[in-house]
Amino acid sequence: MSLLIRGGLVVTMNDAFEVLEGDVSIRDGRIAAIASNIIAPHDRVVDARGGYVLPGLIQTHIHLCQTLFRGFADDLPLMDWLRKRVWPMEAAHTPASLRAATRLATTELLCSGTTTVLTMETVHDTDVVFETVAESGLRATIGKCMMDFDAQVPKRLQETTRASIDESLAIRARWDGQAGGRVRAAFAPRFAVSCSRNLLEEVASLSSRHGALVHTHASESKDEIEIVRKVSGGLANIEYLDAVHLASPHLCAAHCVWVDDSEQQLLAAHDVKVLHCPGSNLKLGSGIAPVPEMRARGITVSLGADGAACNNRLDMFEEMRLAAILQAMRLRPGVVSARDVLWMATRAGARTLGLEHEIGSIETGKRADVIVVDRDRPHLADARLLGPRQRRARDARGRRTPGRRLPARPDRSGRGHDRRPRGRPRARRPRRRCIMLAVSSAEC
């Protein structure tokens, strides 16, 4: 199969940060050529004139299972938010509700420009998430949430250390590398508060043996780090993760809002990846992460919306905007630039996942994870190139993944584009239609 994206402004995100007007040729799921006027025939041609062609955005911290909780866990700080709302709702999940949450999440993500995620799911029924993601076209590294320690966790979410590890390994055996390599399995100990030392040490050993990512939360709120100090015998959160041998290039630590100089040195020394979630940190009142300081130390900092329950949106453009302007307030304007946040949303995300040779930029030979973003909108008039601070998720419109149709946006009548009455021909679409392509599998 082949696809030609014609005439867009291609923001390659390559090392030279090249931007060019032209065509992108995709063959068998990979980028075959980038040139000013490609004339070779293709199975399908997309007119991208008037749009930006970008690498698919990569969210490195998300919980697909929480998407149905949107609006049901507002106005609470982290530990109350977990104990009073989110854990009880996760405990109430059935396979059917989990499937619905995942479908809603994958639709929202693909329709707003995110083609790859690192996601932490709930304790049970993670197979349902893998199945639903595999059907969606999204690229995902998925972890079954591991919790064997906190007595305040609802009974249904409590598991033994052995059961938690055995199920994580069984899921890995079933799913890692499936769907043409689009889905992978990670170990996902929730955070040091709800995991025993034994569990964390065993996960560290398994991660090293399997070369698998470990996805966890760390140093998100002051309450959390005080609990970690108690359970660890006085260590700071990152020091504790180091003490249980988790600090490594495979560790993906969400938040890292409260990390002092010595913890930042530990993160840098072990090439731990930091997953910055500014929208979530604001909603829960957790704080503002020292992103410029961490980046200056060479730490890879990528971005994620976290979950619909702690953000209310899964909009990567919003996270890019917040990541930039929060640091303007905290330090000074420009300390995290528009170009920086676009890098965090693409190249840093790819590096976090160990997929930098496959995704994160539009370069010949890479996987064709590509989006097309409209710029023909009033709020973008005179917007300078690469201004995610101006852009919104709805500028990227969902159309289709290769071989699969995404849910269409409702038209003015409130009906989806594809719900036309039987027998009536499909309406001719405007020539400069806003299109988002979520090309993230080997099927195109």
In the complex, the residues that contact Zn ion under the rule CB under 5 A are: 306
State the nearest-atom distance from the C-beta of 245 to Zn ion, in Å. Answer: 23
DSSP letter (8 states) at residue 367: B
Q: Which residue has the tokens 């991208």?
A: 48
Q: Which is nearer to Zn ion, 202 or 306 (CB)?
A: 306
Query: Tokens at residue 362, please?
Result: 């539009």
Q: Which is nearer to Zn ion, 232 or 286 (CB)?
A: 286
Within 10 angstroms of residue 301's Cβ, the number of other Cβ atoms is 27
Return left, alpha or beta for 379; rule: phi > 0 is left, psi -120 to 50 is alpha, else beta. alpha
State the nearest-atom distance from the C-beta of 384 to Zn ion, in Å. Answer: 33
Q: Which is nearer to Zn ion, 300 or 311 (CB)?
A: 311
Q: Which is nearer to Zn ion, 159 or 306 (CB)?
A: 306
State the nearest-atom distance from the C-beta of 61 to Zn ion, in Å. Answer: 6
Whether the Cβ atoms of residue 274 and residue 294 lie closer than 8 Å to each other: yes
State the nearest-atom distance from the C-beta of 70 to Zn ion, in Å. Answer: 14
Tell me the pairing of strands 251-255 and 404-405.
unpaired
Q: Which is nearer to Zn ion, 63 or 400 (CB)?
A: 63
Its sign, for the CA torsion 221, 226, 232, 237, is positive
Of all residues in the shown chain, the one whose CB is closest to Zn ion is 306
Within 10 angstroms of residue 213's Cβ, the number of other Cβ atoms is 24
Tell me the pairing of strands 2-11 and 51-55.
parallel
Whether the Cβ atoms of residue 249 and residue 271 lie closer than 8 Å to each other: yes
State the nearest-atom distance from the C-beta of 402 to Zn ion, in Å. Answer: 30
Q: Which is nearer to Zn ion, 283 or 397 (CB)?
A: 283
Whole-angstrom distance, CA of residue 181 vs CA of residue 68: 27
State the nearest-atom distance from the C-beta of 292 to Zn ion, in Å. Answer: 22
